Amino acid sequence: MARILITSAIPYINGIKHLGNLVGSQLPADLFARFNRAMGHEVMFICATDEHGTPAELAAAKAGKPVADYCAEMHDVQAEIAKGFRLSFDHFGRSSSQRNHKLTQHFAGVLARNGLIREVSEKMIYSIDDGRFLPDRYIEGTCPNCGFDSARGDQCDNCTKQLDPTDLINPRSTISGSTNLEERETKHLYLMQRALKDKLEAWIDSKTDWPILTTSIAKKWLNDGDGLQDRGITRDLHWGIPVMKGDQPWPGMEGKVFYVWFDAPIEYIAGTAEWADANGLGDEAWQRWWRLDKGAADVTYYQFMGKDNVPFHTLSFPATILGSGEPWKLVDYLKSFNYLNYDGGQFSTSRGRGVFMDQALSILPSDYWRWWLLSHAPESSDAEFTWENFQASVNKDLADVLGNFVSRVTKFAKSKLGETVPAAGEFGPMETALIADLGARIADYTRAMEAMEVRKAATELRAIWVIGNEYLQAAAPWSVVKTDPDHAQAQIRLALNLIRISAILSAPFIPDAAQAMMTAMGSDDWTWPTDVHDAIRALPAGHSFSVPENLFRKITDEERIDWQARFAGIRT
């Protein structure tokens, strides 16, 4: 049994996320977690809400609530939506937790003792009209590298170049739109990432199995232009983790907080500690996942995230871990994703364009969305959600292939052979061929899942569903029962067992439908069908089954047209 640690990028607190956010991190991470649990491995799957920084303060002000209250409420909202999508976190934490406060301050103190933090007096952008220093993400202007006119103060989304706010041409406040900005002097702490470049480069170069998308982004940030830069890790804000050296005040840093991109990844560790606390366990319970000297040496750690988060997880967070000199676990495999676009354009949180997670669940159950998103995951390139494609995929894959097979088999079996697995008959050449094909397909599917090839795994799973339909059509038990009733019983016995196998294999993708299939088969044995010859006979003769409710309904043209219009505009 392996020990598998999984983290997905933690969603920001200011509002409900759209489907592009979901498929870029949490959903494929959940797929992998469910699969590894099914394989019998010990899994720790951690996520949280990312709660610090100016966006949280502004969202709370807009809602007319204290920022701490707003974050607590939105955490509960996001946690409930995650449950709706059946995201199987072992813990869904909060970056504002006391655990994260203490760990973040600990790392800062250790880095300082190791000579990797320096104080920098610098000029930062102050908005006179807003009456505040502007964090880099709240300044926009023209990128000096590519000319994109909506580059942010920390990064250009067009060319991905890392920027400082003072690099921007014609900067403006994104809070008020004001250009009445000036530079004022302030003092901040910088993590000396350049001093760690050789270690970071050697570590990245050692990851020869990482996706090309991950390594190409990491090396671009490491080497392009001026190369890796030292990075500010504090901000002039009120909401956040106070700047301290461990448990001691940091002279000259009074009233400042740590930068959200410094403290947020540390929440992966803190969230695991929160899990231990919530379960009444001691520190050894979480340290065995994160401390190499406490048992984490035999852990394999996987991260899942969108490509925009890759630089911080391949450079900044590893710089914190490596720079500490302490035996913390580093990520072993970082699975990154491109963007999911929406119906000819982009998802837009500010404009409400696209389908948001709460809206999706109000239209259709989570399995419909899980299947489409995972089977169209933006792995090798950006993908696009269109309502036409969504309708076609649901109707064909889920309703016509899987749902139709389950319905036809169980209804025929009940009406012609009774409500128990039939006993008579032996498998013939057609059944023997199906079993061989099924065994090969399950092996291919398992390999794809182990390799985190999400779209390929979906293709293999659908092929297994198709095997059942094609067999049923070719075997035609409704005709055979009239001429050779014993063989018809063997055919249905195989088909009922195939439903159970399909439930087990489908559970990582569509857990609710999988449970419905398994319940209908009267089974609670979720053993992965490694030995197909045993699995195809797991439901013995005389075992009771039932006819499940329709697993999936079809999406009508009228619904598609209505939804397409409803989600094209401004979210109210």
CB 9, CB 48: distance < 8 Å: no
349 is in an annotated binding site: yes
174 is in an annotated binding site: no
- DSSP string covering 325-379: TS-BPPPSEEEEE-PEEETTB--BTTTTBS-BHHHHHHHS-HHHHHHHHHHT--S
CB 152, CB 137: distance < 8 Å: yes
47 is in an annotated binding site: no
The Cα angle at residue 180 between residues 178 and 182, in degrees rounded to 5: 130
Distance of CA 183 to the CA centre of its chain: 39
Q: Using CA atoms, how far apart are residues 140 and 32, in angstroms rounded to an integer?
A: 37
Name 91's Cβ contacts closer than 8 Å, sequence gap at least 6: 46, 47, 48, 271, 272, 274, 275, 278
In a 3-state reduction of DSSP, which class is residue 447? Answer: helix
Tokens of 203: 């570590």
Q: Using CA atoms, how far apart are residues 448 and 455, in angstroms rounded to an integer?
A: 9
> Which amino acid, one-letter code, is at 426?
E
DSSP H helices, 147-211, are: 197-205
Please list, residue by residue across 344-365, b when 16 or more beta carbons sit within 10 angstroms of its beta carbon and e when fewer do.
eebbebeebbbbbbebbbeebb
Pick from 462, 443, 463: which is nearest to 451 by CA? 443
* φ, ψ at 370 (rounded to 5°): -55, -45
143 is in an annotated binding site: yes
Distances (CA, A) of 446 to 159, 161, 195: 37, 38, 42
Q: Using CA atoms, how far apart are residues 86 and 228, in angstroms rounded to an integer?
A: 39
Provide the terminal-to-terminal Cα distance of the chain, rounded to the nearest Å. Answer: 48
Q: Using CA atoms, how far apart are residues 515 and 459, in angstroms rounded to an integer?
A: 21
Name 371's Cβ contacts closer than 8 Å, sequence gap at least 6: 393, 394, 397, 398, 458, 509, 510
Binding residues: 143, 146, 156, 159, 349
Binding residues for ATP: 349
Binding residues for Zn(2+): 143, 146, 156, 159
